[in-house]
Structure 1
């Protein structure tokens, strides 16, 4: 019950914070200057650092008030075309500002809210996956490969929760009629997409853009992200199940890193409610977020697998708690990568972001 109460408190805090972020950027900047702490601080303006960068930004003069977000970088526009053209001073300023923004945007709180929604969505996603595999008459070996892939990344207790859910869903789908299976898949996909709806909200906070997408637009993007996640998530799994050969393990890990980098980059390219940048400007955050996620997941897996504290403290729901913590690590990694991308774009331009049509 303590876990459920804590989740409910995080959910309410996340909703309240997200609502405060939906206000007009100029109003938010003014509020931050006059907030109740009693100390004055300047609006969140984005300055360029380094003489070379300053010369490039002369054509990118600000056309809006302070504190407003900047546009995505696009080919043919003034300023650097890729992050590699930024000066060392630019990167230093970007990293410093990213750390500050992580604190100011309360990324840890937003990640907790995202983890809550992902937790509610992950079991419907498993049901939908197993239902689709049943429709195409996938073999038990294929389902076993998926379970092995889950176990290779997720902490033991969390992996057990999902593999048991897969077994239960597989048994139910074999007994259900075709119509019932299709209806069940549709409902499961709808529920699973809720996690990616709130992924969009989290990245809108990281990029400092308002919630401009309508209900249908959010769901369509969420469905697309759900499908892409399922496809890219299964890329490395065959190489982990061919045996203990070092070559297959090495190839599996290379593909894992590559697939996660591409997946995170797609999140940053599609999820925020704004015009799309070029791929150059979402790749740095994709690389950072992927590396953070893989290292943190493996470290947490090692810790959880060699520690009895979760089982002793939470008993039969230890697997659920470990799963929630792993989803929190995942959400935090995604948001940190998004903050880096946003600050790189802020460093390269001073014009406001162009909102993307809903």
Structure 2
């Protein structure tokens, strides 16, 4: 039996494979450009703004749904919305008719993804939204489709060329869906004034969370902060450094304000110079050492350490010494 001719030529040369990969990326980029161009259309931009307005006002959650590849995009969109301050949950259409429709409340809004707009699995969700007056937002490329016609608001996506040589596998169309989801989430994020602080509350673990940790969360504080007065002896300063094991000590005035620092390096230079250990540490200290505030990001503190080739950074609030942070503490916490 003969089979239909295919555009795919197997076992191509390396050059042909690279050419294919680049062509796929070029087609995807064209799709993204087409989506960006849609925002220049008054109707598309107005619809997008209405969707933003509805989501901003909703008292419940954004229920995101889709089937197949659109369902995978919907899951990612849900995760992005949730992590950037917009409560969202994914509803699988296959489970909707088996009890999961109950997760949709009158306070929610449903965001439905379907490139064709004709996925039969979405039917129960559409009927439920109509029956209970749940706002339904469609994201589809077909204006006359079932999903588009049933929706209260329809974000009409551009018709794009799929990167698949047989024009079968969803490729560019899902890339464009993903990009619209990101645009939606970031627009909502800025509308809410969602800060790096807020982001850290939702991402306390992992490398991303480490970059958002504040200095006060990692610094030594209280009795763990090495400090002496400027009239303390070099011996006393050395003992204080040894006690705290941070490789240095702060020098403070009578009001607890940071005025200098004395480190392992300063101690080595002092010993080499054969100074008397009874001399005041103020004569050998480094003046106006670097310091950060407690609410600075730990990643910024790390950058400052790298830039100035230091291992110890003091933490001050209103000029008063309140803590110290060592590079090893930052590295141990995963800050980079």
TM-score by length of 1: 0.23
Report the structure, 1 or 2, having the larger helix content: 1
Higher relative strand content: 2
Larger radius of gyration: 2
TM-score (norm 2): 0.24
> Which structure is higher in RCO with an 8 Å CA cutoff and minimum separation 6?
1
